[in-house]
Amino acid sequence: MSKLGKRLINAAKSAQAIAKGEADPKTYRVHVPAQLDVRAIRTKLKMSQNAFAARFGILPSTLRDWEQNRRHPDGAARVLLMVIDKEPDAVTRALAPADLLPPPPNKSPLRRSAKRAAA
């Protein structure tokens, strides 16, 4: 096999490890695009500018500036927008006040039984 072929196979294996969450985060960099289509992200969610801004903690004026290309989101804002694009409910849960979140599921029925027996 050629050197290029070996490098391509190694790159594919590395990409697979990253995708599966098996790779050490110190060994790779996350790509954050320099430009995002903020309007497309918002319209994909079928939200008005004000609703989108309120739901995700963005000033409406900032959102308008981004959509009209008067300003561009910085690195952290681009990451937030990418997560909103892929997993908007995760961002909503993360930003929700703790008293509005449902309690975490009890994954250990054994503990529940032990507590009942002790009572």
The domain segmentation of the chain, as residue ranges, is 1-30, 32-99
Does pLDDT of 5 surpass 90?
no
According to the model, what pLDDT value does residue 45 have?
A: 96
Least Cα distance to 43 among 85, 86, 98, 7 occurs for 85
pLDDT tens string 33-57: 889 999 999 999 999 999 999 999 9
Q: Say how far apart CA 24 and CA 39 lie, in whole Å.
A: 34
Least Cα distance to 75 among 40, 31, 41, 24 occurs for 31
According to the model, what pLDDT value does residue 107 have?
A: 60
pLDDT tens string 48-101: 999 999 999 999 999 999 999 999 999 899 999 999 999 999 999 898 887 665
Topology of domain 32-99, CATH: 434 Repressor (Amino-terminal Domain) (1.10.260)
Least Cα distance to 81 among 44, 28, 119, 29 occurs for 44
Rounded to two decimals, the pTM is 0.63
